[in-house]
Amino acid sequence: MSTFALAGNQNSGKTTLFNLLTGSNQRVGNWPGVTVEKKEGKVLKLDGAKIVDLPGVYSLSPYTYEEVITRNFIVEGGADVVINIIDATNLERNLYLTLQLAELGKPMVVALNMMDELDKKGDLLNVEALEQLLGIPMVAISAKSGFGVDKLVRRVADVLKRKTLPNVGDICTGNVHEAIHAISHLVEGKACALSYPPKYAASKLFEGDQPMRDALKLTRDELHVITEIVEIAEHKMDLESDAALADARYTYIENVTSQCFVRRDPEGTPTITNKIDDILTNRFLALPLFAAIMGCVFWLTFGPIGTFLADGFAGFIDTGITAASDALTNAGASEWAHGLLIDGVLAGVGAVLGFLPVILMLFLCLSLLEDSGYMARAAYVLDRLLRRTGLSGRSVIPMIMGFGCSVPAVMSSRTMQNERDRRLTIFITPFMSCGAKVPIYAMFVAAFFENYRALVFFGIYLVGVIAAILSATVLTKTSSFAGFASPFIMELPPYRLPTIRSVLLLLAEKGKGFVQRAFSIIFIGSMLIWFLQTFNFGLKMVDSADSMLASIGNSIAWIFAPLGFGNWQAATSVLTGFTAKEAVVGTLAVIYDVSEDTLSSALAQNFTVASALSFLIFNLLCMPCIAALSAIRRELGSWRWTFAAVGYQTGVAWIFSFVVYNIALLITAIL
Ligand code: GDP
Ligand code: MG
């Protein structure tokens, strides 16, 4: 089995190409940092070959975790051929990575992507000339349309067979060249023993790269000599060594591109993207426009359209359940079998499943915003605001992703370089209300706030954001999080029309996940809840108030008494919510035996406006579901920090609910 590694800048189209080559449907998004995990897949058109989608990087310096992973993977022989995918509309910047990849001395092919956009701009690129000048095989492609991809596969297969190595000329001249040459002589033996190309090792050492020093296990004397060489060169050039090397690379690239690339419009001519950005990121308009756009998302999802779809779908499910119930009665099913199936399984699963249209609408809106490139602007605009709270602008990306699901959101924090920022972001991302909590809000809104639908939804999301920002402000004043947020540099990708294919794929995937959870966790959970609330510990069928579930719920209900929902029903539903947030609704549907009544009227009888609000806020902010918990554990790296995070979240939830409950009590008393 041979392995190809896909390496390239963020947002250069790696995942799009990966999906095309492997037929899988990994998440594609028009903003940096979407792919954080290494993904693998079999190449469809080439037997016995697999491909690895590496995280996007701009260079191979050890500035981020991704950069170190990427270069180690390649240099340690993880790949037989490196496919370097390049955004051809951004040639100079992308070639910077290409030069560094070539230094690794592995067979490689460059895929010049986005050729369609290049053509549309009217720029001209002579691919053969570029190939000749750089000494690396190149193929022009468009990952979006599939143009050139077959040719790319043939070329890669050819390079694999011949083991063609990149043949880049000498990039550096003068002092840099001399210094690297000298260092390379010195460490040649050690580098070769690790099968690192000596010149690669030398240029890394010249840049002052710590991981390389550690890997080579340099002696004190060797380190001393290298420092001397670097210092002499720096002195002669009057420039830091890493800056000098970067400068040398860019000069080389400029020289190459000047011979094979012609821009139609002079650099600095405003593009369509620039024109749109003049409005969307305008100092004064940016925030109102962001609010308006998010308002539209809310209106579409939770307003008349979303409600109409959800009601229709719920009616459809109800009809199904009634039919099943009649069929069972006619077939002469025993009372407990009927109870288990109708009041247990179908009530729970049905209550959750009914929200599928709302969830899909939410994800549709979010993915359109993401794919078009708007979310990257939102992050950029919000950065200016958030900076004051001590948050890094980088946290905005995980936070916005958190509106979808905390699991990828927490994982995306991996692209953050600063450990403090990263941890802080993981602490607060789960406060952003995820899609799975929508059914909980929708249920209570139907029971209590039907006339203020969009407002209540908006308010809940806002409370989540406020909890996150407040937490950041407070936590950065305490010892473990003290310090400054690292600067936020994000490249704004051009606006792009979302592809129908990638949007549909995403919806299908989200829909599938939701339905799967309904039929696995919620299914089993509903059966269990029905069982626990139908029998007592002596396994005798009893009234639910004497059941096992009531005993369990009652033992923790006191925690919630000050929040206004200190009864066993609400307590157990909070508890089951830790398996998956949709389970809260499923549990309540089973407990309140909604076969005779609708869930919303059952809720209206068992909650007050104040306790309903407090219940919603608690579920919004408390510890996330198991899946998110394990993502947090993975990213924080220790159980101690994990417990600190979820303990913190649950504590904040309790305090917020307490405050909201008492304020709501006051207001309802006055009214
Ligand atoms: P990654 O971050 O490198 O994995 O990049 P993605 O595969 O997520 O793609 C980034 C954006 O570029 C998405 O909006 C894609 O739809 C878009 N894209 C990818 N390849 C092409 C292409 O060949 N032409 C055009 N016009 N857009 C592309
Ligand atoms: Mg990607």
Nearest by Cα to 517 from 454, 574, 579, 475: 579
20 lines ligand 1 (CB under 6 A): no
Ligand 2 is an ion; its neighbours by CB within 5 Å are 14-15, 34-35
Phi, psi of 113 (to 5 degrees): -90, 170
| Cβ–Cβ < 8 Å for 81, 2 | yes
| Cβ–Cβ < 8 Å for 152, 127 | no
Q: How far apart are CA 598 and CA 169, in angstroms?
A: 75
Amino acid sitting at position 17: L
Q: How far apart are CA 580 and CA 573, in angstroms?
A: 11
Atom of ligand 1 nearest to the CA of 141: 23
27 lines ligand 1 (CB under 6 A): no
Which mean pLDDT values do the consecutive 10-residue runs of the chain (671 residues) have?
91 90 74 62 89 84 74 86 94 92 93 94 93 95 94 95 90 90 94 90 91 90 94 90 89 93 81 88 88 87 83 88 89 84 85 86 86 86 78 80 86 77 92 92 90 87 93 82 65 84 83 87 87 88 88 94 94 91 90 75 91 96 92 90 96 97 94 83
499 lines ligand 1 (CB under 6 A): yes
pLDDT of residue 432: 94
Q: How far apart are CA 520 and CA 576, in angstroms?
A: 14
258 sits in which H/E element: helix 241-258
13 lines ligand 1 (CB under 6 A): yes
Ligand 1 pocket: which of 6, 9, 11, 35 to mutate (most atoms within 8 A of CB): 11
Q: Give the 3-state secondary structure of residue 285.
A: coil
pLDDT of residue 569: 93
| Cβ–Cβ < 8 Å for 582, 522 | yes
Atom of ligand 1 nearest to the CA of 113: 23
What are the Cα distances from residue 65, in Å, to 55, 69, 109, 208, 572? 10, 6, 24, 17, 41
Q: CB within 8 A of 271, min separation 6: which ones?
A: 121, 494
pLDDT of residue 21: 92
Q: How far apart are CA 293 and CA 422, in angstroms?
A: 28
Which residues pair with residue 8 across a beta bridge?
85
Q: From ligand 2's centre to the CA of 318, what distance in Å?
A: 41
Alpha helices in 259-333 (DSSP H): 272-280, 286-302, 304-330
In this structure, which ligand is nearest to the CA of 368?
1
10 lines ligand 1 (CB under 6 A): yes
| Cβ–Cβ < 8 Å for 50, 11 | no
Q: From ligand 1's centre to the CA of 141, what distance in Å?
A: 12
**Which residue minimizes the CA distance to atom 8 of ligand 1?**
28
**Which residue minimizes the CA distance to atom 9 of ligand 1?**
13
* CA dihedral of 340, 342, 344, 350, whole degrees rounded to 10: 150
**Which residue minimizes the CA distance to atom 17 of ligand 1?**
13
In this structure, which ligand is nearest to the CA of 28?
1
- Sort 497 into a burial class: Cβ within 10 Å, 0-12 / 13-18 / 19+: exposed
What are the tokens at 300?
Answer: 């579409």
What are the Cα distances from residue 93, in Å, to 97, 331, 356? 8, 71, 43
pLDDT of residue 31: 57
Q: What is the DSSP letter of 535?
A: B
For 559-591, b where at least 16 C-beta lie within 10 A, e where not — what string?
ebeebbbbbbbbbbbbebbbbbbbbbbbbbbbb
pLDDT of residue 671: 83
CA–chain centroid gap for 178, Å, is 44
**Which residue minimizes the CA distance to atom 12 of ligand 1?**
13
Ligand 1 pocket: which of 496, 499, 503 to mutate (most atoms within 8 A of CB): 496
Task: Name residue, tokens 């406020």.
Answer: 466
Spatial strand order of the sheet with 81-87 comes to: 39-42, 49-53, 2-8, 81-87, 108-113, 138-140
Pairing state between β 39-42 and 49-53: antiparallel
Q: How many residues are listed for the chain in this entry?
A: 671
Nearest by Cα to 244 from 257, 254, 234, 253: 234
Phi, psi of 8 (to 5 degrees): 180, 175
pLDDT of residue 479: 63
**Which residue minimizes the CA distance to atom 19 of ligand 1?**
13
143 lines ligand 1 (CB under 6 A): yes
16 lines ligand 1 (CB under 6 A): yes
Which residues pair with residue 108 across a beta bridge?
82
pLDDT of residue 489: 63
Q: From ligand 1's centre to the CA of 29, what distance in Å?
A: 7
Atom of ligand 1 nearest to the CA of 11: 2
The 10 Å Cβ neighbour count of residue 164 is: 17
567 lines ligand 1 (CB under 6 A): no
Q: How far apart are CA 274 and CA 266, in angstroms?
A: 15
In this structure, which ligand is nearest to the CA of 85?
1
Q: How far apart are CA 577 and CA 653, in angstroms?
A: 14
What are the tokens at 391?
Answer: 């948050």
152 lines ligand 1 (CB under 6 A): no
Q: From ligand 2's centre to the CA of 36, what distance in Å?
A: 8
Q: How far apart are CA 335 and CA 318, in angstroms?
A: 20
What are the Cα distances from residue 146, in Å, to 3, 137, 142, 463, 632? 21, 19, 6, 44, 37
39 lines ligand 1 (CB under 6 A): no
Q: From ligand 1's centre to the CA of 21, what distance in Å?
A: 14
339 lines ligand 1 (CB under 6 A): no
- Sort 502 into a burial class: Cβ within 10 Å, 0-12 / 13-18 / 19+: buried
Atom of ligand 1 nearest to the CA of 16: 7
30 lines ligand 1 (CB under 6 A): yes
Q: How far apart are CA 230 and CA 586, in angstroms?
A: 66
**Which residue minimizes the CA distance to atom 2 of ligand 1?**
11
Concatenating the DSSP letter of every residue in 397-444 gives HHHHHTTT-HHHHHHHGGG---HHHHHHHHHHGGGSPPGGGHHHHHHH
pLDDT of residue 483: 67
Atom of ligand 1 nearest to the CA of 115: 23
Q: From ligand 2's centre to the CA of 17, what distance in Å?
A: 9
Q: How far apart are CA 23 and CA 17, in angstroms?
A: 10
251 sits in which H/E element: helix 241-258
| Cβ–Cβ < 8 Å for 604, 447 | yes
415 lines ligand 1 (CB under 6 A): no
Atom of ligand 1 nearest to the CA of 12: 3
The 10 Å Cβ neighbour count of residue 630 is: 13
Q: From ligand 1's centre to the CA of 112, what distance in Å?
A: 12
14 lines ligand 1 (CB under 6 A): yes
The 10 Å Cβ neighbour count of residue 274 is: 13
Q: How far apart are CA 133 and CA 128, in angstroms?
A: 9
What are the tokens at 662?
Answer: 């008492």
